[in-house]
Amino acid sequence: MALRRLDFRGFTGNRRALREALPRPEDEQDRSSAGVAEIIAEVRRDGDAALRRLTSKFDKVDLDELRVPESEVQAALRRIPAELQEALDVAHDRILAYHAHEAGSSAPDDFESGGINVSHLIRPVSRAGCYAPGGRARYPSTVLMCAVPAQVAGVDEIVLCVPPGPDGHVDDATLAAASVAGIKEVYRVGGAQAIAAMAYGTASIDPVDVIVGPGNRYVAEAKRQVSGLVGVASAFAGPSEVVVIAGPDTPTELAAIDLVVQAEHGPDGLAWLITWSEAVAEAVSAHVDRIVKDSPRRGDLEATLGAGGYAVVVDGPKQAMAIANIVAPEHLEILTHNARSLLSQVTSAGAVFLGPMSPASVGDYLAGPNHVLPTNRTARFASALRVDDFRRHIHAVTVSEKALEVLGPYVVTLAESEGLPAHAQSVRLRWSR
């Protein structure tokens, strides 16, 4: 079968024109999204029963037990040919050595093993989209938090979308932050529609490679839906969250104001107090009531605290940390005087603030680390926005003739075990040269 030929000699269009001119695969996301949504809903509803039905439907196999017994897993290793087991061992050890080298390097450098050299290339994305919320408040700080790491990464083009105010304009503080950050493209578009525009492109807005920035639940859901078409950093950066851990020595007024700080962002967030002191729980709750009553943002505070405000009383610090890790909050404040002693127990949080003098507000503005953080329990697997969210890591492999002679047979064995003869032949052909 002849290969389709493309000729762009003399092409003078810009990057967008070139992208449009190149053939693109069918949008599998659009075509498959409804079917996948049905499958996910079925599994969420029926669990194992759904898995068995779907396996029967798609794989034509009826299963009683879904889990493969460990004894069967171990027995398989004994049943395979010795040369395949050896090839798996060699592959495992080499993969382990490379990734251990990668994890242990403060700066990526070349990895050399058995005649194979792996160079590490870091390349920024070409175009990044930043979203800064509007409506209830303005967030020039978010503009800086999104744009600065993109600049450090080396991104050429940075785009900002922000909802317009009632007069159709973007407020001066936000625009000033864009100027300070060197952003030249600012669009007065907000909500899910802004995310769609940056992902797919419009006549006015060229599509981007990565979208970053927090927003309400609609913005967060829009980012989830376009993820895969574009990179979406800091998983589900949605409504604001805080868990405040307080002991008998915690100044209760400080705990209360820090709960209110995050609730101030508006509905759909959460503000949890966790303490092993009944007296602290009562005092903090009383302080919160007074702060809310006197706040000019009383409506937002009542909406958030009414749905997501909790005071949790526990047996002690260990249980408090266990609950905090389950909640996996965007902000975790440990406002005890021995806060650092509890840090080793933290496994899931977007950012941690230690001690009574370390409010999350400092992190919101100028501590240095990013305030675009994972919410909705995605801190179980996601992290704060960082420079690497705007970069790709590419490895470049060089194989010596001797290495291909020594390691090539393992490649052939593994390829043949997977039923991929061309993979094996690509090595054999080089042996004969």
User: What is the total count of domains within the chain?
Assistant: 3
Mean pLDDT of 110-120: 93
Tokens, residue 334: 């440990």
Task: Compute the distance between CA of residue 58 and CA of residue 134 in angstroms, rounded to an integer.
Answer: 46
Same domain, 222 and 273: no
**6 in a domain, yes or no?**
no
Same domain, 179 and 252: no
Residue 43: the pLDDT is 86
Annotated catalytic residue: which of 264, 265, 287, 330?
330
Tokens, residue 264: 């101030």
331 noted as active-site residue: yes
Mean pLDDT of 326-334: 95
Same domain, 111 and 144: no
How many residues are given for the chain?
433
Each residue's pLDDT tens digit, 316-325? 999 999 999 9
**382 in a domain, yes or no?**
no
Containing structural domain, residue 410: 82-115+400-431
Q: With cut-offs at 50, 70 and 90, classify the pLDDT of residue 264.
A: confident
Same domain, 86 and 144: no
**337 in a domain, yes or no?**
yes
Radius of gyration of the CA atoms of the chain, in A: 27
Residue 422: the pLDDT is 95
The distance from CA 135 to its chain's CA centroid, rounded to whole angstroms, is 25
Residue 108: is its pLDDT beyond 80?
Answer: no
Contact 162/132 with Cβ under 8 angstroms?
Answer: yes
**245 in a domain, yes or no?**
yes
Residue 24: is its pLDDT beyond 90?
Answer: no
Residue 394: the pLDDT is 93
Q: Which residue has the higher pLDDT, 39 or 411?
A: 411
**155 in a domain, yes or no?**
yes
CATH number, domain at 211?
Answer: 3.40.50.1980
Q: With cut-offs at 50, 70 and 90, classify the pLDDT of residue 26.
A: low
**72 in a domain, yes or no?**
no
Same domain, 142 and 223: yes
Mean pLDDT of 23-37: 67
Which residues pair with residue 351 across a beta bridge?
331
Residue 3: the pLDDT is 66
Same domain, 110 and 165: no
Helix (H) or strand (E) holding 79: helix 70-79
Annotated catalytic residue: which of 241, 264, 265, 331?
331
Contact 242/360 with Cβ under 8 angstroms?
Answer: yes
120 noted as active-site residue: no
**323 in a domain, yes or no?**
yes
Same domain, 98 and 151: no
Q: Is the dihedral of CA 211, 214, 220, 224 positive or negative?
A: positive
Cβ neighbours, 10 Å, residue 331? 27
Task: Compute the distance between CA of residue 135 and CA of residue 162 in angstroms, rounded to an integer.
Answer: 9
Task: Compute the distance between CA of residue 97 and CA of residue 213 in angstroms, rounded to an integer.
Answer: 36
Q: Which of 125-139, 230-244, 301-315 has the lowest mean pLDDT?
A: 230-244
**227 in a domain, yes or no?**
yes
- Collapse the DSSP code of 59 into the 3-class scheme (helix H, G, I; strand E, B; otherwise coil) and give the result: helix
Q: Which of 220, 266, 157, 162 is nearest to 373 (CA)?
A: 220
Residue 32: is its pLDDT beyond 80?
Answer: no
Residue 380: the pLDDT is 93
Token look-up 């390349």 returns: 123
Same domain, 188 and 271: no
Same domain, 288 and 333: yes
Residue 94: the pLDDT is 93
Task: Compute the distance between CA of residue 43 and CA of residue 36 in angstroms, rounded to an integer.
Answer: 11
Q: With cut-offs at 50, 70 and 90, classify the pLDDT of residue 50.
A: very high
Task: Compute the distance between CA of residue 330 and CA of residue 305 in angstroms, rounded to an integer.
Answer: 16
Mean pLDDT of 219-230: 90
Q: What residue spans of 211-294 are helical by DSSP H?
A: 217-226, 252-263, 278-294
DSSP code per residue over 351-374: EEEESTT--HHHHHHTSSS-S---
**Is the backbone of residue 113 left (phi > 0), alpha (psi -120 to 50) or beta?**
beta
Percent of the chain with pLDDT over 90: 68
Same domain, 91 and 201: no
Task: Compute the distance between CA of residue 230 and CA of residue 419 in angstroms, rounded to an integer.
Answer: 33
Residue 235: is its pLDDT beyond 70?
Answer: no
Same domain, 423 and 324: no
Residue 21: the pLDDT is 86
Contact 368/106 with Cβ under 8 angstroms?
Answer: no
Q: With cut-offs at 50, 70 and 90, classify the pLDDT of residue 62.
A: very high
Each residue's pLDDT tens digit, 141-196? 999 999 999 999 999 999 999 999 888 889 999 999 999 999 999 999 999 999 99
| Mean pLDDT, rounded, of the chain | 90
Residue 278: the pLDDT is 94
Tokens, residue 239: 């409504």
Residue 239: the pLDDT is 79
Task: Compute the distance between CA of residue 409 and CA of residue 407 in angstroms, rounded to an integer.
Answer: 6
Token look-up 């370390």 returns: 358
> Which residues 6+ apart lie within 8 Å of 291 measured at CB?
256, 257, 260, 301
Which residues pair with residue 117 across a beta bridge?
112, 398
Residue 221: the pLDDT is 87
Residue 10: is its pLDDT beyond 80?
Answer: yes
Residue 262: the pLDDT is 81
